[in-house]
Amino acid sequence: MVKKKEIGIAILSFVILALIMLVIMVFSIILNEVLKNSGIYSVMSAITYVILGSSIGISAGFGYIIAQRLFDALLDK
């Protein structure tokens, strides 16, 4: 029998991860626009790429862990 609590926790974790990624993306876009309007855009534009790259790495790591928990819950009988 599938553990409904484990599946619920995994789906909730995916939703929380998506919200965190959305916040990081919005922050990065706002930072990019602020830097574009200032005179230091050419020097500091790499910061936005570092933030986006970090968020991709974080989401991949947490997504793997959450997916592993979800599949373990689905495969346990």
The domain in which residue 68 lies consists of 4-75
Q: What is the model's pLDDT at position 2?
A: 59
Q: Measure the CA–CA gap between 12 and 66, rounded to whole angstroms.
A: 10
Q: Is 9 exposed, middle or buried, given 0-12, 13-18 or 19+ CB atoms closer than 10 A?
A: middle
* Residue found by looking up tokens 């609590």 in the block: 5
Q: Measure the CA–CA gap between 38 and 32, rounded to whole angstroms.
A: 10
Mean pLDDT per 10-residue section of the chain, whose length is 77 residues: 72 82 82 76 71 81 80 72
38 — alpha (psi -120 to 50), left (phi > 0) or beta? beta
**pTM of structure:** 0.63
- Provide the domain count of the chain: 1
